[in-house]
Every structure is written in structure tokens, then in C-alpha cells.
Structure 1
Amino acid sequence: AGSTPPMVAHTAANAGVIGMTRQLALEGAPHKIRAVAISPGPVLTPASDRDLGDNQAMRDAVTSKILLKRFAQPEEIVELAAFLASDRASFITGANYPVDGGASAW
């Protein structure tokens, strides 16, 4: 099937979430409600580790599209989410933050 997996639905859903985040920011601003999206790349969780198992070729296929050549750890996503939810991020709204090890730079 080639090197590009069929991900039309996934890509469309991601675009929808980003668009919805922007609209929620527009509608929420008068009420002091912020909306921010986080777009993580591949994250190594117990479920992904189980699904990938010992399949090194599959792991390599995933990380080949990532500039940092590794999976994210869950904490790397959570740290950003905690910051964005805090008062220190009170001037951030309507934005999308890719946390993908540089995959979106392609």
C-alpha cells in the first residue's frame, strides 16, 4: 500500500478539531474562556507498546517520520497541557500546539 497509510478520516478529524478550537476561542473570549488544541505525535503508552510489540520494523516506520526519531513520553504532552491550563498561559487562546517531535515540519 506504499509508504503513506490511508488516513483521510484521521486527517479530516484533526483539521476539524483545530477549526473548532479556533471557533471556541472566538465564542469563549467574551466569557473569559480560552480554547487551545494539542496535536501530539506518536506517544509511547502501555497500549501503543502492546500494539507494536516486538515489531521493530513498525516502530522504525513510525519514528522515520519524526525528526527526533523517537516516540513521545506521555509526560511530554501532559506538561504542555498543565501549562496551557494554568494562569501562566492566560494570554493563549485559539492556538494549536503540535507536540510531534518535528513530524509536522515535513
Structure 2
Amino acid sequence: MARSLTPATFEGHEQETFYLMADETLVACELVEVERIKMPPPKKWGSAGHPLREEPFKIVFRGPLEHLLPQRTYPVRHDGLGELGGIFVVPIDKDEKGYYYEAIFN
């Protein structure tokens, strides 16, 4: 069964290393941001009849300059949290420190 990820899963783990498995390469990425997304009070069901997430949030990772990860789902693990399952990440920025990737949970 897939693990349920919430903001609390990631809060307190900023500046820690998470590992994204890109094919046969394990890419070390630093968690740089966890942000709870403020939304109006949720309805019980979404437009497609699916339950809505009660706590939408986003996380941002910073990865190395040597390895640009394309937009897709990557298996993610953390030394303390273990296997987190697949997380869909999108490259959003680049600076002298690395590439930045965002994952939104809604």
C-alpha cells in the first residue's frame, strides 16, 4: 500500500538529503522548502468524485548541477523516513547551487 504523504512527513527535514532514483542512478537532493498551500475550505469530493487532500502542500528539492532530472515520477527515499514511494517532480529553476525541483500534493 502506498504511504500517505503529508506536510508533517517533510517538515523538520529541510536541509536533509533525499535520494531520487533516476533509472539506475541515485541522485542526492536536498529538501530546501516545505510549504502548506492555503486553500478555501475543501469540499468533500472533487469534480471527478475523488476525495480531496485535506492539507495540500508543496516541497522543493535542490539537486546537483551535474544531473538534470526531467519531469516525471521518481522513487524517493530518506535515511530516516525510509521509502516514500513515487513522487512526481518538475524542474523549476537553476542557479549556481544546482537544479530545483517542485512536487505539489493536492
TM-score w.r.t. the length of structure 2 is 0.25
Higher relative contact order by CA 8 Å / sep ≥ 6: 1 or 2? 1
More strand as a share of residues: 2
TM-score w.r.t. the length of structure 1 is 0.25
